[in-house]
A and B are shown apart, each in its own frame.
Chain A
C-alpha cells in the first residue's frame, strides 16, 4: 500500500524484500489523481501571469517567466479532454524531451511512494489511455501515471 508523505522525503527501501520504491508527485485535475515521476519534476510554483501565445493550439495556455526562463504552460485538462470546472492553483514544472514545460494543476497532493511491483499496466480504457504509462491503487484512489513525453511530443508544433 502506498503512503503519502510530504514533498522532499527520500526514497526508502522496504526491509523485508528488495523492492524498489518509486516516487511520484501526486496532483489532482478535477476528480482525477495524477502522478508524475518525481525525477521529472523540477519545481512547483503558484500560477503567475500567463501570457497567451497567438497562433498556438488551445492546450498551450501560454508562457510564463520562471526566473528569467520562458516556459510554455500546458493545460492537461484540455489535452486530456477533461472538464474544466475547478480552478488551477499551481504550476508543476517538468523536465521533458521538449525542455522545461509547466503543467497547470488544481491541487498538489504530495509525494506518493509506490513499490515497483505494485504498478499496474495501462488498463487501456478511458479518454486518454494513450497517455497513461501505469496505474496504481492508493489510499486516495487510483493514481494515474502520465507519460509526459508522449504528451509534449504530440503537442509540439
Chain B
C-alpha cells in the first residue's frame, strides 16, 4: 500500500515509469534486431535505472529488485559481456510486464509480492550464459593462442567470426574455424533449445567466412559497408533527438472534457442566437441589424474554429496505439512458431483519445487472428512460393472526414467454404439463405456472435471473444468495418471512424410528433413512402428496392410511440446489411453535439445519447445498430 502522503509522488512515478517502460519495450524490440546498438543499450539501461530509482524512493521493493536485476543484465550487455538473445529478451519482457502490473496493483491499493521466479530467471539469464561459455571455449582459446589471436579470447563467437572475416582469406586459420563450427553445433545442447536464432545467425556468418575464402573481396568494399553502418547510426541518433524535442503538456482529461462540454453549449447557443437574429433581421432592417449580422457571422466562425481546436486537443497520434503491436506480434508469432514481420504506416494519423483507447483490444484480436489463422507456418509458405516471413500491415490514414485503420496480411485468406460450413453448424443461417448470399455477405458471417473458423480452440485465438466483439466495439464509436479476403493471398480488415466523437451530422426525423436524430454516416438513401413497395415475408415487413429485399423496421412501433404514417423509408447500412427504417417526416440535417443520457440510464441499446437543439429541445439520437438488435430479438421471442 502506498501511504497517503506519498500518493502524489507515486502518481508521478507511475506516469513516468509507464513512459519509460513503453520506450524500453520498443528499444528491446529494436535491440533484438540489432543487439549491439550501443545507443539503444544505453537508453534501455537508463530507462531501467530510472525506474529502479523512482521505485526505490517510494520503497516499492519488488519493483526495485526486478528492475535492479534487469538493469544488471542490460549492464552486462552494454559492456559486451553478454549478448542479447531472444530468450534473455523474453525474461526482460517479463520483467517489464511485471513492473507494469505491479504499478497498476499499487494504484489499486493492493500489495505486490516479490516475484521470486522472475528474479531467479533474471539471475540465471546472466549466469547461464557465462557458465556455458567457460568450459566449451577452453579449447577454442588454446587454438586462438596458437594462431596468435589471443586478443580474441573470451569474445562471443560472432565477434571472433567477424574478426576472422576481416583477416585476409589465406591467413584465416582453418583449425579455429572448424572449432567454431563445432562450438556452434554443440551449443544447443548446453543452452535452451530456442537459442537457435542466435546460432543460425552465427552459422550464416560461418558460411560467409567460407564463401569469402573463395571470393576474396576487396578491402575497400568492406570499408564502404562500415561507413554505411556509421551513417545509419547517426541518422538514428538524429531521430531520437527530434522525438525528445517534441513539446508536450500533460493535462487531466477531465479538464478537456469540461472544456468540450462548455464549447458544446456555446455551439448550441450560437445556433440559437443565429436563429433569433435571422428572424429579427427579417422583421427590422436598419444599420444596426447589418452590424449585428456582421458580428454574428464573425462569432459564428470563431466558435466553429474554437470547437475544432478543442476537439483537436483530444486527438492523439495512433502511434500511441500502434507502438504496442511490435511486442504483441513478436510474442504471438513466437508462441505459434510463425515468422511475421509487422509493417506500420501512418503512425502520425490522429484519432480521438477515447476511440484510441478502446481500439487496442479489437486490434489485438484481429492481429492475433491474422497470425493464427492467416499467416502460414514458414515451411508451408516456402512450399507455396511465398516469402518465408509473413507480413502484417497495420496502417492508418484519413479519407474525407473519417479515419481508416487497416490490418492486412499476406496469409492464406478466409476459406469461404469453411465459413459456410461453420455458419450452418452453428445455426447462424439456413441452407436456403446461404445459397442466396453474396461472397461479401458470406465473409461478413465471421462477425456473427459465436462464430470461429479455428479448427480447434487454440490458446491464442480462442479466448471466447470473437470478431463479433470487434464489430461491436467498432460500431459503438459509429465506426464501420469491412473485410476483404482472397484465397491464398491474404485478408484485409478495414475499419473507419469519425474524426471526432463529440459532434455528428444527423438527419432530424419526425415520428409521431416527436423528433429524433439519426446519424447520417450509415444512411445510404432515403425513399419517399408513396413510391416504396412494401410486402411481407414470413410475417416480417420488407421493402423492395430495385430487386433488393430490405428488412423494414417500423420505428414508431419499435420505439413504442404508437402508429404513425410512413412518410419516408431511410435505408441504412447496419452491421453487415441494408435495413430500412420508417419515419413520418424529415426535418433536414444538422450538426449535433452528442450528450450522454447520464449514469442512471447506463447504455440503452438503440439510443446512443441526446442532443439539445437550437431552441433548447432535447432530441434523442437513435443507434440503428442497437435498434436492429432489439427488433431481431423481439422477432425471435
Interface positions of A (Cβ within 8 A of B) = 49, 51, 53-56, 60, 63-65, 68-72, 74, 98-101, 152, 155-157
Residues of B contacting A100 with CB < 8 Å? 598
Expressed in whole angstroms, the Cα–Cα distance for A99 and B265 within the complex equals 19
> Are the C-beta atoms of B268 and A55 separated by less than 8 Å?
no
Sample 12 A-B pairs with CB under 8 A, ordered by A number: A49-B617, A54-B559, A55-B560, A55-B604, A60-B601, A64-B618, A70-B596, A70-B612, A70-B618, A98-B598, A99-B600, A157-B601
How many angstroms from the CA of A11 to the CA of B182 in the assembled complex? 92
Neighbouring B residues of A54 by C-beta, 8 Å: 559-561, 604, 606-607, 620
In the complex, the answer to whether B602 meets A55 with C-beta atoms within 8 Å is no
Residue B610 CB within 8 A of the other chain? yes
* A56 proximity list for chain B (CB < 8 A): 601, 604
Alpha-carbon distance between A51 and B618 when the two chains are bound, in angstroms: 7
Set of chain B residues within 8 Å of A98, measured between Cβ atoms: 598-600
From A51, A55, A70, A156, B595 is in contact (CB under 8 Å) with A70
- Which of chain A's residues have a CB closer than 8 A to the CB of B612? 65, 68, 70
Cα distance A157–B598 when bound, in Å? 11
A68–B601 touching, CB < 8 Å: no
A156 and B602: CB pair below 8 A?
Answer: yes
**B contact set with A: CB distance below 8 Å:** 261, 264-265, 268, 514, 559-561, 595-607, 610, 612, 616-620, 630
Q: Which residues of A are found within 8 Å of B595, using beta-carbon distances?
A: 69-70
The chain A residue with its CB closest to the CB of B626 is A55
Q: How far is the CB of A148 from chain B (nearest CB, A)?
A: 12
- Tell me which residues across on chain B come within 8 A of A99, comparing CB atoms: 598-600
Chain A residues lying within 8 Å of B559, measured Cβ to Cβ, are 54
Partner of B604, one of A51, A53, A65, A69: A53
A72 touches B600 (CB 8 A): yes
Query: Of the candidates A51, A55, A65, A152, which one forms a contact with B600 in the assembled complex, judged by CB atoms under 8 Å apart?
Result: A152
Determine the residue in chain B with the shortest Cβ distance to A96.
B600
- Minimum Cβ distance to chain B for residue A8 (Å): 27
Residue pairs across A and B with CB atoms within 8 Å: the count is 78
Residues of B within 8 A of A156 (CB): 599-602
Nearest first, the 3 closest Cβ-Cβ pairs linking A and B are: A68-B265, A98-B599, A51-B618
A70 touches B598 (CB 8 A): yes
Cross-chain contact of A157 among B261, B604, B616, B618 (Cβ < 8 A):
B604
Beta-carbon nearest neighbor of A71 in chain B: B598
Residues on the A chain within 8 Å of B620, using CB: 51, 53-54
Q: Is the CB of B597 within 8 A of A72?
A: yes
Q: Which residues of A contact B597 (CB under 8 A)?
A: 53, 63, 70, 72
Asked if A68 meets B600 with Cβ closer than 8 Å, knowing A51-B618, A54-B607, A55-B605, the reply is no
Q: Beyond A63-B618, A68-B612, A70-B595, is A53–B607 a contact (Cβ under 8 Å)?
A: yes
The answer to whether A72 touches B607, judged by C-beta atoms less than 8 angstroms apart, is no
With both chains docked as a complex, state the minimum distance between the C-beta of B558 and any C-beta of chain A, in angstroms: 8
Query: What chain A residues lie within 8 Å of B602 (beta carbons)?
Result: 156-157
User: Distance in Å from the Cβ of B101 to the closest Cβ of chain A?
Assistant: 30
Q: Considering the chains assembled together, what is the distance between the CA atoms of A99 and B560 in angstroms?
A: 27
B616 in contact with A65 (CB, 8 Å): yes
Distance in angstroms between the alpha carbons of A100 and B596 in the assembled complex: 12
What is the chain A residue whose CB lies nearest that of B266? A68
Min CB distance B92 to A, Å, is 44
Min Cβ gap A95→B in Å is: 12
* B residues near A71, Cβ cutoff 8 Å: 598
Query: Are B617 and A65 closer than 8 Å at their CB atoms?
Result: yes
Closest beta carbon of chain B to A101's beta carbon, Å: 6
Q: Is the CB of B601 within 8 A of A72?
A: yes
* C-alpha gap A155/B599 in the complex (Å): 11
Residue of B nearest to A64 (CB): B618
Which residues of chain B are near A72, meaning CB under 8 Å?
597-598, 600-601
Chain B residue with Cβ nearest A68: B265
The listed residue with most B CB atoms (<10 A of its CB), out of A54, A55, A71, is A54
Which residues from chain A contact B561 at a C-beta distance below 8 Å?
Answer: 54
